[in-house]
A and B are shown apart, each in its own frame.
Chain A
């Protein structure tokens, strides 16, 4: 069950790779996921000692490197999208995707950051193991289904090598922690499952929300806004260069704004 999402994402990846802006955004999402993972693991690493700390620091460093790989890749695929489709604001930032926000659940600064929700090492390692093995599935499918793309063929394997190592070390420590306190870790596993299920549900609800509003928005726009807009333009009532006529058009006497309770109540 837990791998279904990555499996589907991997299967539909050719459709993503074929569209440069979409692929660039996807790569940015990967990049920010790696970035926030590095923050999160770095935060946990600082609380550990010895070989666990070393392994986690190496993991954080790998994720930092992956961030740069994906970011650069996104830039190469579609420079404009990669640099500007997050935070562009020509009058309204509405609808602009912000990969860092979409990956916000990874942010170490957020309360929902894994290291804060799963403070015990055993739980955290299990979570890392599951997350990394999910990533391995997705990247393998990306590599396999998009062999015609040179970078998918050559760059993903370099990431996959690291991801497989992460799977191995996290499983090693998760198992070690399990052997130390089996009962506690079984309870921990339930916490991890709930945490991951919650994350996935949030993502699914966002997907439904975005998809639903896209469908409704398209219908509304083409069935209502477009004909109405055409009509207004034919009647000369809507002009691109003069969206509204105000009393202050042209040289006029000052208009006093009444700063009364009505003013402050109006939205």
Chain B
């Protein structure tokens, strides 16, 4: 079957057994891979009685239809589980080479259940799958574990997915990392992996994924290597840190725990500051000529190991402006610590910024912090707090390792107003006071506040060329939340959920129709844009059903209060999220999506998406 191997690897760690599932082609055409495939398994197999850290939870590693094909951006891997951070649908994606290698080994996905009775890692070598002893790997950094696995196998080219020591210590936003520098960052998937006594899944494949139309795929790859690269050379040179300066100028650079939207130190933490100082190179993912990944190195007072790559925009803002920190060296150190321990830099930064504001407001005392002066702007405090979180060290480490929602509940009172999260997931580095539709996305996302399966309204303020194939024909102001914006949101977010099911990069400059073309070339299917958007919508609805079954309801589709308060200065002075407009947009979105007023997909909608099996009645 071109595009898929037709085999899904099941690993039962409680029984120590592995097996192969062979779904029919129609399964793959409905659920593709990544998020949609994972949502299918989670909804069917993880019932409401199962807790996130119970053996019955699943950990799913699922690349997509293009993984292993020689086209840029198609070899990312989706990681999914019942999230310990949100208590609901957990899903995150990471790049690198692991997904392509899994496909070459002959597998479309790995679905892990149970809990091993001792620390374990899984070795996949084509058809051969072995459970190996990981006792010696406990507590070791991700780089040490990757090196140990490669040494044990005598194979420097094996690809390693792993959780880290932060997961082994119970950090709720511990993540899963591929090849040391590519993170499936969000939702705490790493903690679920560790709860199964599973430290790593190492894979090596010798096959070649079947492609229906290699000629067409080569044409597309040639376009990316020439025109695509030429038009995006600045992205290669600056990577995602290139957005620090524009967001700051627009008033959308989250600063001091979202109290402000521009940062006086922005010019010291962006791409322009990184290039020519700490930046020593770039890195890339499978078959991608853009090479946007940063590699940094630094010495005293905070040695930074280039083995762990370098910071993305999200990390720079979360550990930088959000904490009031303009010391790029310290930000790179914080990034390295998060990487070595494998924990999400967004949730880490938001947790530290929350603690800084609590400290300044007197809600946390020096006694709580073991004397650490946690003030906005202190690079030393930011780095020290990360070290404590990673080790769950002292009262501060214990408090922040559980994320801001739980920390605020423990502190009580006004601390709740300072906790920037939706459904327990810390808010990423994008401002709904600049991008109104993004705020709706934060509210209704099945994984809590998320900037990926979301829209960035400013993109559509002048041009909608990129979304015209979806039928969006006129530009819309960034602060608009009217029916036309909700329609754009519904269509584009469904497409984003498809991209997370094909597990494609958002940054490779493919347009929507080129992606459709790629899927057709790889699979040989007569698929069209409409069918693929429906796959995305299917993923979103399955995830919604999973959350509803666990007790979520419309009351959790809410932004933190701070976003309804106006900025007191900066480019967006006086601007707040319009509460009434957002409420109406949410109501309209439910209706457009075929959900009832309580946010429950109607039986008719389930049948329309070919999900009749998931209807309760």
A and B interact = no
Give residues in B with beta carbon < 8 Å to A: none
Give residues in A with beta carbon < 8 Å to B: none
